Structure formats: structure tokens, C-alpha cells
Structure 1
Amino acid sequence: MVRKILFTVVLLLISIGSLSAQEKSLERANTKYDEFSFSPAIDIYKKVLDKGFVSADLLKNLGNSYYFNADYKNASEIYKRLVTEFEPDVTPDYYFRYAQTLRSLGEYEAADELMKKFSEITSAGDYRANNFTADRDYRKEIKENSGRYTIGSFEFNTVYSEFAPAYYKEGLLFSSDRDTGNLARYRHTWNSKDFLDIYKVNADSLSMGRVVKMNKNINSRLHESTVAATRDGSVIYFTRNNFKEGKSTKDEDGVIRLKIFRAIIQDSIVAYLEELPFNSDSYSVAHPALSPDEKTLYFASDMPGTLGESDIFKVTINDDRTFSTPENLGSTINTEARETFPFVTSEDVLYFSSEGHPGLGGLDVFATKIRDNDYTGAVKNVGEPINGQLDDFTFIFNEEDRTGYFASNRATGLGNDDIYSFVENIPLQLECRQEISGIVRDKISNQVLVGATVKVINEDNIEILQTLTDANGYYEIVIDCDQGNFVRAMTDGYIPSEEYMGESDGEPKVIDFYLERDNVSGGFGDDLAKLLQLSTIYFDLNKYNIRPDAEIEIQKVIAAMEKYPSLKIKVNSHTDSRGKDAYNLWLSQKRAESTVGYMISKGISEDRLEGEGFGETKLVNNCGNYSNCTSKEHDLNRRSEFIIRE
């Protein structure tokens, strides 16, 4: 009995000791995780999990450690356990990340099911959810954008990581964690890889295979990566860990943040080095890119005002080398997830990587056209083969020769990340294009108007384009359907007519224009009602007061007389043949007088108006007395004419 008690106590002590060991292991793992030291965190979490200890937090942290190291297969397996075993503890972002891992494995239908769940439980304003539930087939769009590039190699890849190519003079700069040449190599615990440095490939060394490490004033013992350089190479912006006086600096959570530095180069020497003023010890600023005129700096950050995990921002570079306040590029580009690695081409096309916009898995490369400092244009996935199931990023492009470079961690690479060259064979259609066609006619005669001008004018009243109608009065134009436009038809002697076209899905549309004559008083004896295409002015049976529907038509005549002060009108009123002849003559006269009286009451001078009733004396058909005409046939005779007189 004593032995049994002692044995039980020993087991209890062993159990308590084991539990204490696991708690200490988890504490160490969580510390590493909070420091973004994912590699050792993974090892510890796996050991704890293999021993049968599991919790929602452990699975979240282990899944995220895999996810942020782009190990999507293992991340997918852990996230699957999380949503299966701890569903009440799963927040929306984990469904999104789980869906992303499945996309990276090519399991798109399963990913779509998870995105449905994500859309159901997330907030109504989440861009990722709205994009998924929108009435668009993103897989079809990506497929339509695919097949436009030919992928080539980059001879300077190694078994280490190479990424972030950047144009520099006639050559390239890129980032790598290849051998630093030091006896004691620095390794980063995020992924157990060496710290990154910036390397240079000169123009003449592209064929000679000569890679040069950048100046030690730029490369430190921590990370340096993602470079943007001016065309003459005199200024270089680059990303570095928060590094001061030879030591790394951590924020209050123990995280070493990223900052952008600016180096002034003179005679191949760093003459001046400074960190940018909008850097911070409490958030990251990274991955610089310059606008074509080198007056705007783009970058990625998680600074206050960020919509997601990281957003793309911009600042103006002033003439005195100071900077404006950072400006978020907005919710068309930035989502609740990661947007990063911007690059702007000579034609103002912004390329960037994102996991928030619908893609093939991991980070995909997207493009959007910048128009007049506006960032609300359509965002397009550039498609395969640039994008694949894993991470694709740091895309750069020369629009003159249609060549460029990008990096990817796809399985076919030599190292963890590799740089690839490419040639663009077919340009990406970034702007929504909509075909508009139609015929321009005379509103009265229906005659086609040859040589009429059709213009497209945007919402800022700026003319975008114009064309002329052909011998058949036909025109055809293409407009940008990502924005509102006015399509206007005009020709001499006619009043211009236009139609507003808002944003649309780009389906072709037919717009026929019917132009009114500019001077309706040109012909004495003409019926103004026909020129203005008035509807029939009706009176109630046996009455002559102005009805509301007739009032609208008479107002058109009043408007014409106000526009043309010399215009004089005689109102001729007619009846059908039903009823006695004398009564119809009296009734028509009262209707003519009522119409004239109404127009006078609205401000038209009496000396410009005249009215006469003709009863049934001027029928327009054979529906006289004793005819068998239908009611509609009789209606044709119940009319009012507004005859232009001298």
C-alpha cells in the first residue's frame, strides 16, 4: 500500500515536472515568436505538439510561423487542425490564411469554401471578402492575363536567397544572404538564414559573371535589402534593420523594425548616409521605389493609418531633399492583408505584391495604372508564369525593351528565393476598355448627319478624344470604363447632345444621337410641335382646361420662345369628327384660347401669340362623320399645332 502511494506520488511529480517543462518550452517558443524568431519557435512548438500538448494558441503560432516563412504546406496542415479542433477560437484572419495556403497548393475549390466562411464571419467592409463575393470570375480574369511573359534565368542565383532586383546605372542591384566572407557569419532567427546584404552587378559584368558587394557604409551586420536608385546612381534608397551606433534597436515588443535609408554617392563613395524622417522605432518602413520623375518615393509600411498588415504609401521628395507627410495609397490598392514591394514604370504603372487581392497563392504580383495622381484604377493580377502557387515579388520592368526581373520562392529555383528574368510579349490591358458605337441623326427628319463630331469628355471636363461620323452617320469609339465619361455629339446648326457613361463592366454599348436644330424659327409656317417632337396635347372630353401632361409639352414651347425672343406662334387646335360640327368648332376655339392664356400666364408676351380653333375642318385622315374609324384613328385628329408665324 505504501509502495502504491509512493508510486502514485512519483508519477504525479513526474507529470508535474513534465508539464512544467512544456510550459517553459512554450514560454521560450512564445518569446521567440514575439521576436519574429520563427525558426527556433517552430522547433519548440513542434516538440511540444509531438508530445501531445495542444492548444488553439499553439496551433495559431505554429501555423503563422510556417505561413510567414512561406512553408504553406505545413502551415496548411496546422491551420486545418486549428479550424477542426478549435473552431470557436478561430478568428477570420485564420480562415483567410488557411485559404491562402490551399491556393498555394493548387486546392482552389477548397480555398473558395474557406473564403465563403471568411466572408460570412468577417466585417462587411473587408476588401478581401468583398472581392471574393463580387460578381466576378477571378480565376477567369487571371487566366486571361496569363501567358504573356517568357521567363528566363538569372545567372547570379546561388543556393542561398537572391531577390529584390533594382535597376542601377547600366546594371543591377539585388539582395542576397550568400556567404558574407566573414569568419563568424551572422544568421537571422526568423528563418535561420544569413543576414541580407546588397550586391551589385555592373553592366559589363552581366556577361562576365562578376558580383560586387556594396560599400560597407551601406551593408551592416544586419539586414539590407530592396533598393531604389536614381537614374544617374547618385542617390540610393535602401531598406535596413533598425541599426544605430553599431547596435540593433528593438521596439517595446522586442522587435527590430525596418527602416529606409538614403545614401548620397559621390565618386563611387558614400558621401552622406541618413535615415528618412518618417521612419520609426515602433513600426516598419521598407521597400522603396521611385516615380519616373524621381519626385515621389513609394514604400511599404505598417505605420498608423495602415489598412492591413502592411500597406503601400508615398511621399513627395521636395527640391531641398525633405519629404512630405506619408500618404496611404487607399483601399483600391491596399487591403486588410499584405501589400508590399512597389515598383513604378516609366508609363506610371504601379506593380506591387499582395496576398489580399485574389491570386494563385502566396504573394502575387499585381498592376494598376496611375492616372493624374489617382490610385483608384483597376488592379489586375499579371497572371502566370510570373505568378504561381508560392510567393512572387520584387517585380521590376523596363517598358522600352519590355524586359524585367522578379523574385520567387517557387520549387524550381536554385535557392530559397531566386531572381528570374522575363520578356513581356503581350502588354497587360490595365484600363477597362468599352466600345461605344451608334448613329447621329436629325431629330425631326431622322436623316443621318455626316461628319458630325463625337467627343469623349471626362468628369473633370477634359476632352479625351473625338471622332467624326462616316457617310452613314456612324461613329465608333473606345472609352475608359473605369471612370465616368460624357459622350457628346455635335455639328453645325444643331444643339449638342450628350450621354453620361458611368463605370461599367466594359460590355459594348450602342448610343444613337438625335440632334435638334439650333434655330427653330428658321421657317415660317412650320409646326413647332413637330420640330420639338412634342407629344400630343390632350384635353379631357368636352373640356378645355390644360391637363398636367399637356402642361409639360407646352412648357417646351415656352422654353423655345424664351430662347428665341423673335419667335411668334399661332396655336391651331383641332378636334375629331365625333359630336356636332358647330360644337367642335366652339370647343377647339376654347382650347386654343386656353393654351394661349396659359402661355401668357407664364410670361410670354400676348403680342407674340395667336390662337384659332378649326373644329373638325382639317382632319388628317378619312375619319369624318359616319365613318367606322377606331378610337385611336380619331385621336390623330385631336391635336394642337404651334405654327411659326411672321
Structure 2
Amino acid sequence: MKTKNLNYTILFILFFLNIFAQKTAINNANEKYEKYEYVDAIKVYESVANKGYKDEKMFQRLGNSYYFNGELIKALKWYDELFLMNEQQEPEYYYRYSQCLKSVGNYSKADIILEKFSKKITNDQRGILFETNKDYLEEIKSNSGRFEIADAGINSKYSDYGSAVFNDKLVFTSARDTGGIAKKNFKWTNKSFTNLYTAELKADGSIGNPERFQKKVNTKFNESTPVFTKDGKTMYFTRNNFLDGKRGRDLKKITLLKLYKARFIDGEWKNIQELPFNSNQYSVAHPALSVDEKMLYFASDMPGTLGQSDLFKVSINDNGTFGKPENLGATINTEGRETFPFISNDNELYFATDGRPGLGGLDVFVSKIDNDGTFEAIQNVGEPINSKQDDFGYTINSKNRNGFFSSNRENGQGFDDIYRFTETRKLTCEQELTGTITDSETNEILSNTKVALFDENFQPVAEVVSDEKGNYIFSNLKCGKNYFVRTSKTDYENKETPVTIKRLDGKTTLPIQLEKRVKPIMVGTDLAKTLDIPIVYFDLDKTTIKKESAFELEKIAQILKQYPNIKLDIRSHTDSRQTVKYNQILSDKRAKATMNWFIENGVDSIRLTAKGYGESQLINQCSDGVKCSEEEHKLNRRSEFVITNL
């Protein structure tokens, strides 16, 4: 009996020691994880996990450690374990899990997980983009097949990425071992710190042997992603927080990324300075220059960032100083990672993100920048640039359509590799908007119906007339844009219909049914009431017609053009606030401004009269001294369009 008890005691002690050893190992791994030493953390976590130990927090961190290093296939194994143990996870784990499922081509399950993600956090832009574009794979397919790609010929077994062209040389980032005695590793990846390298771009299309970039630029920490001004005199690049031998750290003692500027003087890069909007507390990285070189774009997680990293821009002043960084906003940025911007000479913004529906990991997207700085429809550039893994660092020569991009896709030489490409067909996304116009009651085809197209700011785009079969067509419309279609026909009510053009090449169909005009038009009819026009189309105390109101006034203009004998009296009224004299003058100016708008839009002035009535014809009790709400006052600020002759 004593021997049996002793055996039980020994087993208990061994079990306790094993549990203690596992917890000690996990605590050690947790410390490394918190310091972003993911590779070292993985070794310890996996050692414990492979012995059969299961822990929800450990599976989370194991998956994250691989995920943050771009090793999505390896991350998938541990996210699988995590969701088998407990499917009720924080929303971000659903998103990461879906990305990892895409990395092995399991898009059907990835979409199921994304559905759950979007239901858990309904205001997340990533979920919204998925819910509004569930046919994203078809869109990507339609954009694919436009590139011929090949290994760039400069890759090593280490990480190579982030290229730029300078003086007929390719300047790129590499973690290759240069044979130094004191080799240093970046704890995040456990790979060598990166430096900048150059390789000659030869006339026959081949690339020469890589050589280290200038010594003064490269340090013992990471350098990456350079961009050069057209005159070759200025370079912006990314480096860990290190300058003049001094290393900076954030509050967690982590050395983050900063942007630096160097000048090319007497054949050397000198005067290296950090940019003034850097900080020890957040990262700023991956610079790109606008076409006119007056704007610098970059990625950062600085305050004001919408997601894990966003794209920003900052103006470069003529004296070399910088403005205040501006977030590119929710049109571009999501709660995910937006990074590696590049501006082509065609004024297109290329960038990498994992926040939009894609093939997996980071995908390359593109958006045309309009003259006013706004962005057109954002499109996935498709395969073979994009893959199931991380694809980023896209640059292109707008003249010859040649360029480079980086990827950690399978069958590469190293962790990241640089690929060269030729774009064989430019990415254009245009739609044809078409439809048939019919009577809403009888379904009778309505030919010879005027159909006008307006953009989202109510500016006219085009005008057509439906054919004998009631069909209309607007061609060459931009994908993803919002428009308004206005139809008008004698004896029918005018109708405005909003439409959003699909985000892939093809056709958008918008059938329109018109209602017979049942409200009689006669002398004394107020067209504002007949056509349901909002009564207020001036801002308070203003006499300038608002853009959205001009769209409404166009309805009346169409009636006047359909019935050339109509004469109209424009009557403007104010509320009782301000003095009687002020309101009389204001209303008179508004009536005259409205009449001038009709004249400028093709209505003969002899058909129009205009008069202001100030506050003399209030339609409720809101006279001087009576307390009224804003809505009650607004009822008195009205315009009337009264027919005086038919």
C-alpha cells in the first residue's frame, strides 16, 4: 500500500511540475509576444501546443504571431484550433480567420466567416464593403489577366521588396545577409535587418547584380521603400527610429518607423533629416510623391487613423517645409491595413490593403485621383498581381506600362520577393446604363421620352430621347459612380431616379415607369405644390440658389419647355425674423435670383415675373413676438411658382 501511495505521489509531483513548466514557458512566450518578438514567441507556444496543451489565449497569440508576419497558411492552423475550442471570439479574429482561409483558396468558408464578422460589428467598413459587394470574386476576375509577370532576377532567400527607379537603377529593400561579423536580426521576424540595395536596369531588359546602396543611408537598423524626386536630388525613405547614432523608442521601449529625407550632393546622399511629423509613439512609413511632387503620401498609425494603418498625405511647401498630415479618409481607408502607396504619372493611387474584399492577405488596389483631389471607384487590379498571399509595393512606368511589385506568394525564392511585370491592357471600368420607359398603369411603351442624366452633384451629364421601343442608353459611365436619371414627357409626371453604376465592366439596367399627370395644371396652379418641390431652396439669409435646389428647379424648367405658352409668376416669402424692411428686400432678391436662373437655363424672360412678399403672407402664427420652432419658421420661407397664363 505504501509503494502504491508513493507512486501516486510521484505521478502527482511530475504532473504538477509539467503544468508549472508549461505555465512558465507560456509566460516567457507572452513576454516575447508583448515585445513583438513573434518568431521567438512562436517557438515556445508551439512547443507547448505540440505536447497537447490547449489554451484559448495561446491559440489566439499563435495565430496572431504568424498573421502579423504574413504567414497566413501557418496562422490558419491555430485559428482553426481557436475556433474549434470556442467560436465566440472578438470580431477581429473572425476577420483574420477569413483572410487565412482565403490563403488556401477556401473562399466559400471565408465568406461565411465574413458574414459572421459583419453581423458582430455592423459599422465596420470591412464588413460593409463585403456586404455591398458579395460578387467581389467576379469583379476581380473581370480585372484579371492584364499582366505578364516574372521574377525580377534580384531575389535572395531572404526578404526582398519595396522597389523604386533612380538613374536607370532599381533601388529596393533587402534583408539578405551581407556577411558581416556582427549579424543583427529584427526580433519581429528573426531575420536580418533590411538595407537598401541597387541593381542596374539594362537596355536589354535584364537586371544587373545587386549592390548595397550608399553607406550613409544604410544603418544597422531597417531601411526600406525609397522614393526619388524627378530631378534626382531628393530621396524620401523609411527607417527605424535611428539618426546620428541615436535610437528612439516608444513608451513600450519599441523602436518604430520614421520617414527621412536626404539630398544628393556631389555624388553622395547627405543631409539626412527626419520629417517633422514623425513621432517616437507611432510609425510613419512608405513614402510616395504626387505627380507635381507637392504632396507626399505615406502610411501611418498616427492619431486619427481609422484602422491598423491608414494612408495620409502632407503638402510639401516651396520652402521645403511641410503642412499638416491629412488622413485620406474612409473613401480609401478601412479598419484594416492600408499601406505602400504609389502615385503613377497618370495620377492614379495604387496601394495595398487587407481591408477590402480581395484574394487574401494584402491585395493591390487602384483609384484615379480627380483634379479636385477626390478619388474615383477603387478597383482590385486582379490576378496575377494579386494572389492568395500578401501583394504590395506596386510601382508602374505610365509610358511603357512596365513595373515591379512585391509578394510573399508560394514558390518564391525568399520570404518576400520582387516581381517585374508588363501591363498588357489598362484597367478601365465603364458601364452602359440602359432601360425601357413604360406607363406605370398600362405598361405601354413610351417612345420619344426625354431622359436626362445628372451626376451626384446634380450637374448635367447627358440627355437622350427614348426610341420607338421606349429604350434609352447612356454609354461610357464610370463604375461605382452615383447618378440621377430624370425622365419627362408631355402629360406625364416628371420623375427622378437615383442609380449607382456597378463596379465592373458591363451593363446596368434601370427600367422606368411614368405616371400620368392627374393633377390639373391651370391658371393659378402653384407648380411647387404640383411637383412636390421643397419649399426652401435658399440657405438662411442667403440669395444664392443651392446646388441641390437647382436640380429641383429644373423640374419647373422642363414644364415650361413642354408648355411654351405658360407664363409664371415667381413669389418669394420669408419668415418673420429680421425687420419687415430687411425681409422685403431679401425676398425680392430671392425672387429675382430665381427668375434669372430660369432665364439662364433657356426660359424667355417675357414669360416670367418675380416679386418678393417678405413676411406679409405668413401661413401660420409665427409673427413677431411669437415663439416658434425652426420647422415652423421654415414653412414661411417658401417660394411659389404660380401659372398666370396657359
Give the TM-score band, short-chain normalised. 0.7 to 0.9
Indicate conservation of the 8 Å contact 1:467/1:477, yes or no: no
1:211, distance to aligned residue in structure 2 (A): 2.3
Structure 2 counterpart of 1:58, one-letter code = M
Q: Match for residue 306 of structure 1?
A: 305
Indicate conservation of the 8 Å contact 1:368/1:379, yes or no: yes
Q: Match for residue 57 of structure 1?
A: 57
Secondary structure of the equivalent of 1:28?
helix
For residues 535 and 4 of structure 1, the distance between their equivalents in structure 2, rounded to whole angstroms, comes to 101
Larger CA deviation: 364-373 vs 558-567: 558-567
For residues 71 and 21 of structure 1, the distance between their equivalents in structure 2, rounded to whole angstroms, comes to 28
Secondary structure of the equivalent of 1:220?
coil
For residues 349 and 538 of structure 1, the distance between their equivalents in structure 2, rounded to whole angstroms, comes to 51
Q: Match for residue 46 of structure 2?
A: 46
Specify whether residues 476 and 333 from structure 1 end up closer, same or farther in structure 2 by C-alpha distance, changes over 3 A only: closer
1:104, distance to aligned residue in structure 2 (A): 0.7
Secondary structure of the equivalent of 1:333?
coil
1:49, distance to aligned residue in structure 2 (A): 1.5
Q: Match for residue 567 of structure 2?
A: 561
Indicate conservation of the 8 Å contact 1:39/1:65, yes or no: yes
Q: Match for residue 118 of structure 1?
A: 117
Q: Match for residue 478 of structure 2?
A: 480
Q: Match for residue 326 of structure 1?
A: 325
Do structure 1's residue 286 and structure 2's residue 289 form an aligned pair? Answer: no
1:399, distance to aligned residue in structure 2 (A): 1.4
1:147 to 145, 148, 167: 145
For residues 12 and 606 of structure 2, the distance between their equivalents in structure 1, rounded to whole angstroms, comes to 111
Structure 2 counterpart of 1:504, one-letter code = I
Q: Match for residue 335 of structure 1?
A: 334
Q: Match for residue 25 of structure 2?
A: 25
Q: Match for residue 404 of structure 1?
A: 403
Q: Match for residue 228 of structure 1?
A: 227
Secondary structure of the equivalent of 1:87?
coil
Indicate conservation of the 8 Å contact 2:197/2:211, yes or no: yes
For residues 318 and 100 of structure 1, the distance between their equivalents in structure 2, rounded to whole angstroms, comes to 40
1:504 to 501, 504, 521: 501
Taking only the aligned residue pairs, the percentage that are identical comes to 39
For residues 165 and 224 of structure 2, the distance between their equivalents in structure 1, rounded to whole angstroms, comes to 14
Q: Match for residue 633 of structure 2?
A: none
Indicate conservation of the 8 Å contact 2:201/2:208, yes or no: no
Secondary structure of the equivalent of 2:421?
strand
For residues 487 and 107 of structure 1, the distance between their equivalents in structure 2, rounded to whole angstroms, comes to 41
Q: Match for residue 131 of structure 2?
A: 133
For residues 377 and 567 of structure 1, the distance between their equivalents in structure 2, rounded to whole angstroms, comes to 42
Secondary structure of the equivalent of 2:406?
strand
Q: Match for residue 253 of structure 2?
A: 254
For residues 535 and 15 of structure 1, the distance between their equivalents in structure 2, rounded to whole angstroms, comes to 88
Do structure 1's residue 177 and structure 2's residue 181 form an aligned pair? Answer: no
Specify whether residues 375 and 36 from structure 1 end up closer, same or farther in structure 2 by C-alpha distance, changes over 3 A only: farther
Q: Match for residue 366 of structure 1?
A: 365
For residues 188 and 200 of structure 1, the distance between their equivalents in structure 2, rounded to whole angstroms, comes to 22
For residues 565 and 347 of structure 1, the distance between their equivalents in structure 2, rounded to whole angstroms, comes to 46
Tell me how large the CA RMSD over aligned residues is: 4.1
Secondary structure of the equivalent of 1:378?
coil
Gaps of 5+ in 2: 438-445, 489-493, 532-555, 570-603, 609-640
Question: C-alpha offsets along residues 336-387 of structure 1, whole Å, 9 cap, x if unaligned?
Answer: 1111111111111111111111111111111111113444422111111111
Q: Match for residue 108 of structure 1?
A: 107
For residues 329 and 95 of structure 1, the distance between their equivalents in structure 2, rounded to whole angstroms, comes to 26
For residues 26 and 536 of structure 1, the distance between their equivalents in structure 2, rounded to whole angstroms, comes to 78
Indicate conservation of the 8 Å contact 2:216/2:270, yes or no: no
1:267, distance to aligned residue in structure 2 (A): 2.2
Indicate conservation of the 8 Å contact 2:152/2:207, yes or no: no
Do structure 1's residue 239 and structure 2's residue 238 form an aligned pair? Answer: yes
1:25, distance to aligned residue in structure 2 (A): 1.7
Specify whether residues 203 and 559 from structure 1 end up closer, same or farther in structure 2 by C-alpha distance, changes over 3 A only: same
1:248, distance to aligned residue in structure 2 (A): 3.3
Larger CA deviation: 10-19 vs 318-327: 10-19
Indicate conservation of the 8 Å contact 1:438/1:476, yes or no: no
1:231, distance to aligned residue in structure 2 (A): 1.4
For residues 498 and 479 of structure 1, the distance between their equivalents in structure 2, rounded to whole angstroms, comes to 21
Counterparts in 2 of 1:527-546, with a 5 A limit?
Answer: none
Specify whether residues 300 and 475 from structure 1 end up closer, same or farther in structure 2 by C-alpha distance, changes over 3 A only: closer
Specify whether residues 24 and 433 from structure 1 end up closer, same or farther in structure 2 by C-alpha distance, changes over 3 A only: same
Gaps of 5+ in 1: 440-445, 491-496, 514-532, 540-544, 569-601, 609-641
Q: Match for residue 443 of structure 1?
A: none
1:433, distance to aligned residue in structure 2 (A): 3.4
1:504, distance to aligned residue in structure 2 (A): 3.1
For residues 567 and 52 of structure 1, the distance between their equivalents in structure 2, rounded to whole angstroms, comes to 89
Specify whether residues 213 and 455 from structure 1 end up closer, same or farther in structure 2 by C-alpha distance, changes over 3 A only: farther
Q: Match for residue 583 of structure 2?
A: none
Question: C-alpha offsets along residues 59-88 of structure 1, whole Å, 9 cap, x if unaligned?
Answer: 111111111222222211100111111334
For residues 63 and 642 of structure 2, the distance between their equivalents in structure 1, rounded to whole angstroms, comes to 79
Indicate conservation of the 8 Å contact 1:484/1:500, yes or no: no
Question: C-alpha offsets along residues 233-268 of structure 1, whole Å, 9 cap, x if unaligned?
Answer: 211111111114424332122322111111111122
Indicate conservation of the 8 Å contact 1:313/1:329, yes or no: yes
Do structure 1's residue 163 and structure 2's residue 161 form an aligned pair? Answer: yes
Structure 1 counterpart of 2:431, one-letter code = R
Specify whether residues 9 and 501 from structure 1 end up closer, same or farther in structure 2 by C-alpha distance, changes over 3 A only: closer
Counterparts in 2 of 1:580-619, with a 5 A limit?
Answer: none
Specify whether residues 373 and 224 from structure 1 end up closer, same or farther in structure 2 by C-alpha distance, changes over 3 A only: farther
Specify whether residues 171 and 17 from structure 1 end up closer, same or farther in structure 2 by C-alpha distance, changes over 3 A only: same
Q: Match for residue 581 of structure 1?
A: none
Structure 1 counterpart of 2:501, one-letter code = S
Q: Match for residue 619 of structure 2?
A: none
Secondary structure of the equivalent of 1:358?
coil
Q: Match for residue 393 of structure 2?
A: 394
User: What TM-score, normalized by structure 1, do the two folds share?
Assistant: 0.73
For residues 274 and 552 of structure 1, the distance between their equivalents in structure 2, rounded to whole angstroms, comes to 67
Indicate conservation of the 8 Å contact 1:436/1:479, yes or no: no
Specify whether residues 129 and 153 from structure 1 end up closer, same or farther in structure 2 by C-alpha distance, changes over 3 A only: same
Q: Match for residue 83 of structure 1?
A: 83
Indicate conservation of the 8 Å contact 1:363/1:390, yes or no: yes
